[in-house]
Structure 1
Amino acid sequence: MRAALAALAVMLATATTGAGAQTATSSPAAGPALSPASVPSSFGHYQPPRTYSEQVTSSFYLPLRDGTKVAVLVARPAQGGKPVDSRFPVIWHHSLSATQQPADGVGSRAAGFVTMPRLTDYGYVVVQVARRGNGQSFGTMRGYHDRNEAHDAYELIEWLARQPWSNGMVGQYGCSNTGDAAAQAMTVNAPHLKAVFAGCFSWNKYDAMRRGGIFAQWGTGPTRTIAQDMAVKPVDTDPDKVLLRQAAEQHQRAVPLFEVWKALPYRDSFSPQLQSPFWAEGSASSYRPQMIQGGVPLYVVGGWRDELRDQGLIAQANIPGARILIGDWLHCENDGFALAEEALRFFDRHLKGIDTGIDRDDPVHYFVVGPNVWRSSAVWPLPEAKPASFALTTKGLVEGAFAGAAVRREFAVDYAVTCEKSGFGPTMQPCHNPGHGWSIAGRPFAAAAEYTGHGVADLWIAADTPDANLFLYVEDVAPDGTVKVITEGRLKASLRKTGTAPWTLPGGYPWHRAFAEDAEALTPGEPARLQFDIMPTSWTFQPGHRLQVTLTGSDWRERARDPQAQPRAITILSDRARPSSVTLPLIRR
């Protein structure tokens, strides 16, 4: 399943000449061919015929309600080098550029998403729009997915529905930052938005970008120089890049997201740069009632090796009728899976009214690592995944309640830790560093045990500072000693107070409101209880392998460390009065 597809590699070509110029491109005779061998049988083997083999494109500036000009690229089905004179459903992408640059979230590594423009072959108009303050568009970005962008989406959706090549049925797609943009479009109830296909986006920005209250996020959004913006291909109506230069200069007025996020340590923090409690403003979760009221069908795509995998499952749990697909993938990747074809099946159902079989599928499809098989479920979490609690004891991780002698284990915190290789791929991944922190393992599994779902950590710690950051890695130890990090969790000790989430959490794991008033400093040397979620995965411990938990006080992805949360050492405690444990959902088949 991890072998990359060679198909679906055609990139959208655009014109650079003349006002209103159009460029015709032809796809290869076989492409983008559907690949049933890469589609699990439960997905229905949807293979409609290709109707067209050419497309024409045109790009231009479109003024929005406040006069801000955004760049638009329209790809239409064509025959004989000319656009087909007919009305089609429209699929659009609220991107960082109108020409799908690698940094837009759908670059070359995002195999399925980058090929969406070739859905013109199946009778769609596909449109790219650079968000205000980005790419070829004018304007200044305000934070990340603010209400300006959401209202832009409303205006653009309704504009797309009125065009002479549109039949009024509009769908949207995106991944990463453009997946967030697609989710934001669902919050404004545009009448003509009929379906959204979104990958690797945040449901709640605080939980995604300040996971556990800790600033250890891999990325902090787009920040480009004028030179980088000028390297973007201009729209057809600006061949000399005169307007592109003006747009690039406007982009520089934006406050870098690193500075914005660094100044927002709590969920209710107010941003002085943006004059907003921005975690709330920029989160789809804040507009859950509007999303439900709109009733737009949502298809979520995620990866077990993506930082936002829990966010996709939370979104699926909160939007009635939503579907989700999770593979053994990194951020916005889909190696070995015909993602564009699955998107076509979804859009054909909701934009063309075709019975593609998708309504008869389970809403949850997930890949199980180990046996390397796809499985589906009508519900999540899986009813057959039973919680197994592993106590931290002097004999290692022992399944069941704590017993035996008390554990008091101190480890030094190494703030110079690096990650030469992060186990499961570059960027975003936790890294096992032998000797860093404290590792505790259980006995070898006698039979295969499938770990599918959300775990929970319940730990007692002490530190010599008013705060501490605790990172937990769940690991698989092979008989030869090889260690693989399979998932993770984290929590800032001062934000340990638990509360009730204002949205559904699949599995009901601990949630932290993390308002400023919830912060409670540690008393140096005094034990404190930390309960937090472990991000979901689907992994199989093979016979002879062992479950291991590694606890650290720092992570190579940390940025702008909090001086109050830098203890010299952290102590883990576990005894009858204060038992520390890790609970994982296991299926013993």
Structure 2
Amino acid sequence: MRSVLLACAVAGAMAQAGVAGAQAPAALAPAAAPSSFGHYQPPKTYNSQIRQSFYVRMRDGTRLAVTVARPAVDGKPAEGRFPVIWHHTLSATQEAADGTGPRAAGFRSIPGLTDYGYVVVQVARRGNGQSFGTMRGYHERNEDADAYEMIDWLADQPWSNGIVGQYGCSNTGDAAVHAMTGGNPHLKAVFAGCFSWNKYDAMRRGGIFAQWGTGPTRTIEQDMAIPPIDGDENKVMLRKAAEEHQRATPLFELWKSLPYRDSWAPSVQSTFWAEGSASSYANQMRRSGTALYVVGGWRDELRDQGLITFLNIPGTRILIGDWLHCQNDGFGLVEEAHRFFDRHLKGIDTGIDRDPPIHYYTVGADEWRSATQWPLPQAPQTSFAITAKGLESGAAKPAPLTTSFAVDYATPCVGEGGGPTMQPCHPKGAGFSVAGKALAAPVEVTGHGLADVWIAADTPDANLFLLLEDVAPDGSVKVVTEGRLKASLRKTDKAPWALPGLPWHRAYAEDAQMLKPGEPVRMQFDLMPTSYVWAKGHRIQFTFAGSDYRERARSANSQPARITLISDAAHPSSVSLPIVKP
């Protein structure tokens, strides 16, 4: 009760005169400043910000920590009601470990939009940060119900005009997209980066547990190190919240227990890949009418997920840079978010409606490009046969190849870092590499590569990794993108959502097909998308490996000492690339 009274007292103290409006303006207001992609800087209308933090009680009594930042003039709260932009995050104080720490660059700076007439709010999700409660999985339906309730609360405050937007990246990007599934009419726009459309395809890509993220799992000491909310300087409430957090199921253990898309998790009493996936609620997202802007990076593990979302939620905008997870080096991300929110929360003509919906950076050409559809119609798939003579395009009778390569489970990827900076690396001394001839002219690949290869092993299962690489004239190798598939989950099926021409694996437990010693099996899978130019004189190379240094919780059944790659008339192996026509 004390926390409810505190929230009410704070809300009363923050109340200002103004006229509330629950809907965005029907007609667009004139543009406030010249605007173009990544460039939008109207003049500031406020010169400072007032922050207050407190608890808000949810429907079941769980108290969520909230920090409200309001526009101010010379340290005094500005009068009137404003659109609200909120962040469903891991703490109410934007800590470095929240997924929008220093590496998140522009996302971390969005609270500065108070200078332009927005209230910006941080809400710690239940079971995290200063909030009470216990996490039940990751982006589970309790969180989504919290989001709906919180949006109602934000719309009803005396400093709010009832129009709400949301933002986030990584785990908070997922939270923002999940908020759309509730269909709250106050939520008009979501700006979300590096999230998952389908959690199984993102976290168990190709059926393999080989990516860096398993979400927040923190000790009481780590929770106690963050700042408390106002009025809890002695951290009594923070301590109680931290103790409740410890009842959560560790996400690493949860995800490890779910090898198949339909796996049941006794710890959370759910087929959790479905419960926690935005894809499960695609119809609700489409019906919501909420505008969505997706941000991704060509070096982010989730880059395909944003593009798949684009294909399934009409009206979505997307930008993809040459970035790691939640980064935006050299690009005005806050300016673009501001342009988007001004359009959908204030009804200002920012020019964004006249832009193509897709903006992407082409590495090697070093420029931003735009498109109206994905895949690009000017980038048809070009097939490369894997032969004993190297990569051959258009060969009538490619030279047959049968080769066995060692699988190295021990060598680390030196210098690749940890967490979201973890990238695949060329497995020197292991795997099998096959390259084409030196290019007579630059070649651009924009889109998703497709692998169709035959392998054999002497274990019941095997993990196959495929790297697309750029080999320079001096022999140095750069990994451009990657794909992977567990051999036992090779069965393809029709996807329940739109895909950009990619094979899809249902990966139910009943779909598993174990290997027979030495018997070839066909593996069809996609490479994550890229936009990259190989320079003249460079070579395109594919490297096959049976392990990756990012793998976690390996299965003993999936650890062959060697894998055999086969390419002949009966077992034609090839990889196709979406090569842009000159």
TM-score (ref. length: structure 2):
0.93
Q: Which residue of 2 aligns with 1:177?
A: 171
Is 1:238 matched with 2:232?
Answer: yes
- Compared CA separation, residues 172 and 44, structure 1 to 2 (3 A): closer
2:561 pairs with one of 559, 562, 568 = 568
2:378 pairs with one of 381, 384, 390 = 384
2:424 pairs with one of 420, 430, 440 = 430
Q: Which residue of 2 aligns with 1:456?
A: 450
Q: Which residue of 2 aligns with 1:542?
A: 535
Q: Which residue of 1 aligns with 2:489?
A: 495
Per-residue CA deviation, residues 527-580 of structure 1 (Å, 9 max, x unaligned), is 000000100000001100000111000000000001111111100000112110
Query: Aligned runs of 1:290-369 on 2, under 5 Å?
Result: 290-369=284-363
Any stretches of 5+ residues in structure 2 without a counterpart? 1-8, 15-33
What SS is found at the alignment partner of 1:109? helix
Is 1:80 matched with 2:74?
Answer: yes
What SS is found at the alignment partner of 1:128? strand
Q: Distance in 1 between matches of 2:76 and 2:138?
A: 38
Q: Which residue of 1 aligns with 2:570?
A: 577
Code of the aligned partner of 1:207: D
1:125 pairs with one of 113, 119, 126 = 119
Q: Distance in 1 between matches of 2:417 and 2:448?
A: 21
- Does the CA contact (< 8 Å) of 1:44 and 1:358 recur in 2? no
Q: Which residue of 2 aligns with 1:135?
A: 129
Query: Aligned runs of 1:406-425 on 2, under 5 Å?
Result: 406-422=400-416
Query: Aligned runs of 1:9-20 on 2, under 5 Å?
Result: 20=10
Q: Distance in 2 between matches of 1:85 and 1:50?
A: 16
Code of the aligned partner of 1:585: P
Q: Which residue of 2 aligns with 1:285?
A: 279
Q: Distance in 1 between matches of 2:40 and 2:90?
A: 31
- Does the CA contact (< 8 Å) of 1:476 and 1:545 recur in 2? yes
Percentage identity across paired residues of the two chains: 71
2:100 pairs with one of 106, 118, 132 = 106
Code of the aligned partner of 2:480: I
- Compared CA separation, residues 169 and 41, structure 1 to 2 (3 A): closer
Any stretches of 5+ residues in structure 1 without a counterpart? 1-18, 24-39
Q: Which residue of 2 aligns with 1:12?
A: none
What SS is found at the alignment partner of 2:273? helix
What SS is found at the alignment partner of 2:529? strand
Q: Distance in 1 between matches of 2:90 and 2:480?
A: 32
- Does the CA contact (< 8 Å) of 1:424 and 1:485 recur in 2? no
1:89 pairs with one of 68, 83, 86 = 83
Q: Which residue of 2 aligns with 1:35?
A: none
- Does the CA contact (< 8 Å) of 1:458 and 1:531 recur in 2? yes
Q: Distance in 2 between matches of 1:318 and 1:416?
A: 40
Q: Distance in 1 between matches of 2:131 and 2:38?
A: 40
Q: Distance in 2 between matches of 1:423 and 1:241?
A: 34
What SS is found at the alignment partner of 2:206? helix
Q: Distance in 1 between matches of 2:527 and 2:427?
A: 19
Is 1:259 matched with 2:253?
Answer: yes
Q: Which residue of 1 aligns with 2:31?
A: none
- Does the CA contact (< 8 Å) of 2:483 and 2:526 recur in 1? yes
Q: Which residue of 2 aligns with 1:485?
A: 479
Q: Distance in 2 between matches of 1:546 and 1:64?
A: 58
- Compared CA separation, residues 279 and 65, structure 1 to 2 (3 A): same
What SS is found at the alignment partner of 1:577? coil
Q: Distance in 2 between matches of 1:504 and 1:147?
A: 24
Q: Which residue of 2 aligns with 1:14?
A: none
- With 394-403 and 194-203 compared, the bigger mean Cα shift is at 394-403
Code of the aligned partner of 1:103: A
Q: Which residue of 2 aligns with 1:520?
A: 513
**Per-residue deviation, 1:192:** 0.3
- Does the CA contact (< 8 Å) of 1:423 and 1:432 recur in 2? no
Q: Distance in 1 between matches of 2:68 and 2:417?
A: 41
What SS is found at the alignment partner of 1:374? strand
What SS is found at the alignment partner of 2:579? strand
Q: Which residue of 1 aligns with 2:46?
A: 52
- With 77-86 and 340-349 compared, the bigger mean Cα shift is at 77-86
**Per-residue deviation, 1:182:** 0.3
What SS is found at the alignment partner of 2:421? coil
**Per-residue deviation, 1:294:** 0.6
1:475 pairs with one of 465, 469, 479 = 469
Code of the aligned partner of 1:515: Y
What SS is found at the alignment partner of 1:587? coil
Q: Distance in 1 between matches of 2:111 and 2:98?
A: 14
- Does the CA contact (< 8 Å) of 1:417 and 1:555 recur in 2? no
Per-residue CA deviation, residues 326-379 of structure 1 (Å, 9 max, x unaligned), is 000000000000100100000000000000000000000000000100000011
Q: Which residue of 1 aligns with 2:26?
A: none
Q: Distance in 2 between matches of 1:404 and 1:264?
A: 41
Per-residue CA deviation, residues 105-148 of structure 1 (Å, 9 max, x unaligned), is 11111110000000000000000000000000000001000000
Per-residue CA deviation, residues 276-328 of structure 1 (Å, 9 max, x unaligned), is 00000000000000000111110000000000000000001100000000000
Q: Which residue of 1 aligns with 2:459?
A: 465
**Per-residue deviation, 1:237:** 2.3
**Per-residue deviation, 1:404:** 3.7
Code of the aligned partner of 1:429: Q
Aligned length: 554
1:405 pairs with one of 395, 399, 402 = 399
Code of the aligned partner of 1:109: R
What SS is found at the alignment partner of 1:408? strand
Q: Distance in 1 between matches of 2:417 and 2:187?
A: 40
Q: Distance in 2 between matches of 1:423 and 1:410?
A: 30
Q: Which residue of 2 aligns with 1:555?
A: 548
**Per-residue deviation, 1:20:** 4.7
- Does the CA contact (< 8 Å) of 1:306 and 1:428 recur in 2? no
Q: Distance in 2 between matches of 1:387 and 1:423?
A: 33
Q: Distance in 2 between matches of 1:389 and 1:42?
A: 38
Q: CA RMSD in A?
A: 1.7
- Does the CA contact (< 8 Å) of 1:74 and 1:128 recur in 2? yes
Code of the aligned partner of 2:545: T
What SS is found at the alignment partner of 1:452? strand
